[in-house]
């Protein structure tokens, strides 16, 4: 007859068997038998021993051949102690076999403990340090400080399909005369200046998603977020400001002037912000100051008309995915490469295979419909500028 058991290990990695609430450490093993003794054989001088049959042992049951002695009165069934043993085992297992962050490993393992067991846990900071130490034991060589990375571990030089993963940057040889004609970037002056210097012939354009994001941040900074969420008419007015990006660049200034009169004082603070940064303030002589971002940079009229991209959301989506893959803000170089290898094998290579097999790369239907509506409005605009802005605004959310 077999007896239900659980197996784990001691803190020194010795096999430990749990039967009926008592713990037994492996003493020795022969070809056909395993000898176990009570874990308290030294602490409480307990001489209770069990002999099990090796041929019938499983992960959940054993056949007991012999039991010797009795437990001392000091030995007791301590279920909390057993729970904490399993907790330590789970910590080690998840540390070695997952790519989860320290906090995620800890949260998952603690969630399986009872309240009584949680009380007897060591300080959580100590547990975190244990996780980090376990990782270092199985970690890669020290991260290099030189810029040449001459000693990259072999395991990080190949993909899961045994292709070469790391190569020296061959861009100067691969594209020696690379000279992009169009660059879509965020609304950051430092970035704009760098690209303008590096590629003076390129046409710079702003990402429309980031333009909407800038308007939304200003809305929040002025304490208007709740009004935007609760008042449909107010929200539509804000969308009209964002819709100016679809008006022809030559007509944007006049459109802004008419829209300012149309919206009225309720939107004055948001109109002031937009005027300062994207239109330019009116001088005494009737001309306008140079805005922080010229209309030619943030306007998407021509891009919409020519069915070109208005945002760099595909790049932003990849950035978000990589953040999720890394699960931390500052991975070590080895972790960074390891995660990229996993991402290349599981996600990128799969997409390449599907595209090579003829799978079309298509936008979601809701975005296809949106593009069609905006394209129709830009190519067949209303004669009245306010009507045109109003129609465009129905297709905009921040």
Q: What is the pLDDT of residues 252-299, one digit of tens each?
A: 999 999 999 999 899 999 999 999 999 999 888 888 999 999 999 999
Residues 6+ apart with CB under 8 A from 91: 105, 106, 109, 127, 130, 131, 134
DSSP 328: S
Q: What global pTM score does this model have?
A: 0.58
Tokens for 238, please give them.
């804000």
**Main-chain phi, psi angles of 160, to 5 degrees:** -65, -15
With beta carbons less than 8 A apart as the criterion, state whether 26 and 36 touch: yes
With beta carbons less than 8 A apart as the criterion, state whether 117 and 80 touch: yes
Tokens 């008309």 belong to residue: 305
- The per-residue pLDDT of the chain, averaged, comes to 84
Distance CA(348)–CA(363), nearest Å, equals: 18
Distance CA(24)–CA(39), nearest Å, equals: 5
Residues 6+ apart with CB under 8 A from 221: none
Distance CA(297)–CA(211), nearest Å, equals: 11
Q: So what's the pLDDT on residue 83?
A: 85
Secondary structure E strands in the chain: 2-4, 6-9, 15-19, 22-29, 33-38, 49-53, 61-68, 182-185, 203-206
Residues 6+ apart with CB under 8 A from 386: 258, 259, 262
CATH number assigned to the domain with residue range 2-68, chosen from the 4 options 2.20.25.240, 2.60.40.10, 3.30.70.100, 1.20.1740.10: 2.20.25.240
Q: So what's the pLDDT on residue 216?
A: 94
pLDDT in tens, 46-95: 889 999 988 777 778 888 888 888 888 777 777 888 888 888 888 888 87
Start-to-end CA span in the chain (Å): 69
Secondary structure E strands in 170-270: 182-185, 203-206
- pLDDT per residue, tens digit, the chain (398 aa), is 688 888 887 777 788 888 888 888 898 888 888 999 998 888 888 889 999 988 777 778 888 888 888 888 777 777 888 888 888 888 888 877 776 788 888 888 899 888 888 888 888 888 888 888 777 666 556 666 666 666 677 767 777 777 777 655 555 666 667 788 888 888 888 888 998 888 888 889 999 988 999 999 999 999 999 999 999 999 999 999 999 999 999 999 999 999 999 998 999 999 999 999 999 998 888 889 999 999 999 999 999 998 888 877 677 777 777 777 776 677 777 778 878 888 777 777 788 888 888 877 777 787 788 889 999 999 999 999 999 999 999 999 88
With beta carbons less than 8 A apart as the criterion, state whether 214 and 235 touch: no
With beta carbons less than 8 A apart as the criterion, state whether 196 and 180 touch: no
Q: So what's the pLDDT on residue 174?
A: 64
Angle between helices 385-393 and 365-379 in degrees, nearest 10: 180
**Main-chain phi, psi angles of 195, to 5 degrees:** -70, -35
Q: Where are the chain's structural domains?
A: 2-68, 79-136, 206-309+372-394
Residues 6+ apart with CB under 8 A from 360: none
**Main-chain phi, psi angles of 23, to 5 degrees:** -110, 140
List Cα–Cα distances, 390 to 100, 124, 365, 397, 398, in angstroms. Answer: 48, 56, 23, 13, 15
Q: So what's the pLDDT on residue 236?
A: 95
Classify burial at 83, counting beta carbons within 10 Å of its beta carbon; exposed 0-12, middle 13-18, buried 19 or more: middle
Distance CA(131)–CA(333), nearest Å, equals: 19
Distance CA(70)–CA(78), nearest Å, equals: 17
């Amino acid at each position: 007859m077999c007896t239900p058991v659980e197996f784990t290990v001691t803190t020194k990695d010795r096999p430990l068997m749990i039967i009926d609430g008592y713990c037994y450490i492996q003493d020795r093993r022969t070809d056909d038998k395993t000898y176990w003794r009570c874990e308290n054989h030294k602490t409480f001088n307990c001489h209770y021993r069990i002999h099990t049959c090796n041929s019938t042992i499983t992960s959940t049951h054993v056949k007991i051949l012999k039991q010797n002695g009795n437990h001392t009165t000091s030995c007791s069934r301590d279920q909390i102690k057993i729970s904490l043993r399993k907790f330590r085992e789970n910590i080690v297992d998840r540390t070695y076999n997952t790519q989860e962050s320290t906090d995620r490993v800890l949260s998952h393992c603690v969630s399986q403990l009872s309240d009584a067991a949680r009380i007897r846990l060591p300080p959580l900071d100590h547990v975190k340090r244990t996780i980090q130490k376990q990782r270092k034991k199985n970690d890669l060589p020290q991260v290099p400080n030189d810029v040449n990375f001459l000693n990259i571990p072999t395991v990080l030089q190949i993909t899961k399909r045994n292709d070469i993963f790391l190569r020296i940057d061959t861009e100067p040889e691969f594209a020696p005369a690379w000279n992009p004609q169009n660059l879509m970037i965020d609304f950051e002056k430092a970035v704009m200046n760098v690209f303008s210097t590096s590629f003076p012939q390129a046409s710079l354009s702003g990402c429309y998603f980031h333009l909407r994001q800038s308007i939304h941040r200003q809305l929040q900074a002025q304490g208007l977020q709740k009004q935007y969420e609760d008042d449909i008419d107010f929200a539509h007015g804000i969308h009209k400001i964002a819709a100016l990006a679809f008006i022809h660049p030559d007509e944007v200034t006049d459109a802004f002037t008419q829209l300012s009169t149309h919206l009225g004082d309720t939107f004055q603070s948001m109109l002031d912000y937009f005027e300062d940064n994207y239109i330019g303030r009116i001088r005494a002589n009737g001309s306008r100051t140079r805005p922080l971002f010229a209309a030619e940079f943030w306007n998407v009229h021509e891009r919409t008309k020519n069915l070109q991209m208005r945002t760099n959301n595909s790049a932003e989506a990849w950035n978000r995915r990589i953040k999720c893959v890394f699960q931390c803000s500052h991975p070590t170089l080895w972790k960074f490469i390891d995660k990229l290898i996993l991402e290349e094998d599981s996600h990128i290579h799969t997409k390449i295979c599907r595209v090579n097999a003829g799978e079309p790369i298509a936008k979601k239907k809701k975005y296809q419909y949106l593009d069609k509506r905006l394209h129709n409005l830009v190519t067949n605009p209303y004669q009245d500028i306010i009507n045109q802005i109003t129609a465009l605004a129905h297709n905009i959310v921040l």
